[in-house]
Amino acid sequence: MYQSFIKPLLADTKKLFLETLFPITCFSCNKEGMFLCAACQPKLKSTHQVCIACKKPSLAGLTHPKCLSPLMADQFISFFDYRDNLVSKLIIRGKYYFIPDIFKLFAEMLAPRLQTEFPLMLNKDTALVPIPLHKWRQRWRGFNQAQILCQSLEGKLGTCTENLLERRKFTKTQKDLKKEERQKNTANAFQLLPGATIKARHIILVDDVATTGATLLEAAKVLKRNGAEKVTCLTIARD
């Protein structure tokens, strides 16, 4: 009882303390109250959709029929250009300065666009699945940004977040690696969690950024190998 009362109180006090010391201001215009105010949100540079296999343009991010193979992801949706300064600055701040609210803000921006621009064909078996962090990294950061995205999206999309995967090895941060090293780094990085049911389901794999797509492709492979019918990869931004 005491614990359940005091814990949220401490969290609120900590939040208030941090917000007094470091007031939330817009990354673009410095207006107080939001990490990116409504007026500045259209400044984020959007990206066009590509096929995750060949990286060439594709309608709605659908994998080209000629690029599809049995374990290949079926669709890849990404909204913003990671090379845009404002986009990368927000994501990097969120991850490395431990601000999960930045990812909630991104989910707010993504949800309406997902509903209007992408026919996801959700059904009762569709699941939002976050790309898991290795437990050491999650402990250090205190949250998984992909999990925050899923949880903020689920109510808006009418789907549920399910943790179906786990990291089996500690991989280096992809952004510091060359292309060939990235593929090697993610090979066999994931496995299904015990009891995960995948068969004949549509899975939406969620991550913050796709660089080469190697991480998403590796996770998609595990899901497909275990019987997933369709795998859609979804990220805030791509490189």
- Residues lying near Zn ion in the complex (CB under 5 A) are found at 26, 28-29, 31, 37, 40, 51, 53-54, 64, 67
Report the nearest approach of Zn ion to the CB of residue 36 (Å). 6
Task: Please give the single-letter amino acid code of residue 163.
Answer: N
**Inter-residue contact 52 to 217 (CB < 8 Å):** yes
Rounded Cα distance between 193 and 56, Å, is 33
The least CB distance from residue 213 to Zn ion, in Å, is 11
Q: Which is nearer to Zn ion, 42 or 119 (CB)?
A: 42
Asked if 53 and 63 count as a contact pair (C-beta separation under 8 A), the reply is yes
Nearer to Zn ion, 37 or 71 (CB): 37
CB of 93 to Zn ion, least distance (A): 15
| SS3 state of residue 121 | coil
Pick 14 or 55: Cβ nearer Zn ion = 55
Q: What is the token pair recorded at 98?
A: 């431990």
Residue 205 pairs in a beta bridge with: 129, 233
CB of 67: closest distance to Zn ion in angstroms?
A: 3
Choose between 28 and 49: whose C-beta lies nearer to Zn ion: 28
